[in-house]
Amino acid sequence: MAIEAAPMFDTDELVLNMGPQHPSTHGVLRVILRLNGERVVDADVVIGYIHRGIEKLTENRDWTQIILLTDRMDYVSAATSNLGYCETVEKLMEVEVPRRARYIRTILAELQRVASHCLWLGTHAMDIGAMTVFMYAFRERELILDLFEEYCGARLTYNCMRIGGLPLDIPTGWGRKVRAFCDVMDSRIPEYEELLTNNRIWLERTRGIGVISGEAATALGLCGPPLRGSGVYRDVRKDEPYAAYDEFEFDVPLGTNGDTYDRYLIRLEEFRQSLRIIRQAVDGMPDGPVMGKVPRLIKPKAGETYHAIESPKGELGYFIVSDGRSTNPYRLRVRPPSFCNLQGLKPLIIGHLVADVVALIGTIDVVIGEVDR
């Protein structure tokens, strides 16, 4: 902690320790700020407070048990973590996943994206002081959790995918309920927009705050909405389609200014695009099995592979090495989008005020469970 050790040479400077216990660091992120008045001169982002060694744990679990561990990484978006892991192992084993399973996976992943963005919108608005948006967004997230509960019985850590397909087919009438949810959500997005998009205070708090250029964002390795907010076209769903994304039509929203407001607009647009995908998937749902032909004992042949999906936070990649002998991975490494996006926090916050730090932690949408693993 270089900042702590440094002497306070200027009397106007104040070292402020934000977190790990702080209402707005979204978990146990710790940011050490050096302030001049209220302006951030220097910052140090400290992570690791809920490091649980998930990557190491996987080396002692068999391949199916690991799905359960992936739930605990990005705990507000468990389905996409499941999806990424399962697809990586399937790629390693060269298993064919039935089309129906891929459709359902897509629906689950997009519902999860909407749920995760709801949580992001609520907390982000809450950080900037708009408390009602929080409740509105959670109201809709609740509907999604109900859908998940009906599908797999869990509300947060779903464990809802299996290598080679899905553990369960969708319940009867579930598709209709998803359609109904899409209609509800469509009518609710204008409510958020009404409260925020043209709100003068919201504009003043987000426009021109945390501007990052496309080149800088690429150089920092940002991904997901923070990268697209700077106008860089990168979406794994389009670039390297997985699940059933190649069969659906959707747009990838791009920002122009790369500021907090653009990132906000992009996520709002992603709500709409996700709903568009869900509708297409529900309407075109094929019949058939939901589980592919997978050996009873999962034991991929020796080799290594990397596979990425677009989680709500950005590019979620898994790199897996199998030695082909044991029933657990030799090495599993996650490329978590939150961790990579957190790299952008320090350059973003320097020069801004304390209040903006909170807004910027919100705008890059980190889940510390995924950062620390």
Partner 1 sequence: MIDLVIIPLFKIAVVLNGVLVSVTFMVLLERKVIAWAQSRLGPMRVGPWGVLQAIVDPIKLILKEDITPTKADKWMFTLAPILSLVPALVVFSVVPFGGDALFYITDINVGLLFIISVTSIGVYGIILAGWASNSKYPLLASLRAAAQLISYEIAVTMTLVSVILTAGTLSMVGIVEAQQETGFWFGFVQPVAFVLVFIGGLAETNRIPFDLPEAEQELTGGFHTEYSGMRFALFFLAEYANMIVIAAVVTALFWGGWLRPFPSVDALFPSVGALSFLNLAFLDLIPSWVWFFGKMFVFLYLFIWIRATLPRYRYDQLMRIGWKVLIPIALANIVVTAVVKVWLL
Considering only the stretches 125-133, 236-244, 301-309, 321-329, report the one whose residues sit in contact with partner 1 under the rule CB under 8 A. 125-133
Tokens for 78, please give them.
């468990």
Distance CA 327, CA 83 (A): 20
Binds partner 1 (CB under 8 A): choice among 16, 46, 154, 211? 16
Binds partner 1 (CB under 8 A): choice among 51, 61, 99, 139? 139
Binds partner 1 (CB under 8 A): choice among 6, 8, 12, 23? 23
334 sits in which H/E element: strand 331-335
- Of the candidates 269, 288, 260, the residue with the CA atom closest to the CA atom of residue 202: 260
Distances 168 to 63, 98, 105, 171, 296 between C-alpha atoms, Å:
18, 13, 11, 8, 17
Q: How far is the CB of 134 from partner 1 (least distance, A)?
A: 8
Binds partner 1 (CB under 8 A): choice among 1, 8, 131, 184? 131
Would you say 111 or 358 has its CB closer to partner 1? 358
Considering only the stretches 3-11, 60-68, 220-228, 355-363, report the one whose residues sit in contact with partner 1 under the rule CB under 8 A. 355-363
Relative orientation angle of helices 354-364 and 260-283, to the nearest 10 degrees: 20
Q: What angle do CA 73, 290, 114 make, to 5 degrees?
A: 45
* DSSP letter assigned to residue 211: -
Does position 356 interact with partner 1 (CB under 8 A)? The reply is yes
127 sits in which H/E element: helix 99-127
Binding mask 193-232 for partner 1 (x = CB under 8 A): --xx--x-xx-xx---------------------------
Would you say 19 or 336 has its CB closer to partner 1? 19
Q: How many chain residues interact with partner 1 (CB under 8 A)?
A: 32
Does position 128 interact with partner 1 (CB under 8 A)? The reply is yes
Q: What angle do CA 144, 105, 337 make, to 5 degrees?
A: 80
Binds partner 1 (CB under 8 A): choice among 3, 14, 285, 321? 14
**CA terminus-to-terminus distance, the chain:** 21
Given the rule CB under 8 A, which residues bind partner 1? 14, 16-17, 22-24, 38, 125-132, 134-136, 139, 195-196, 199, 201-202, 204-205, 353-358
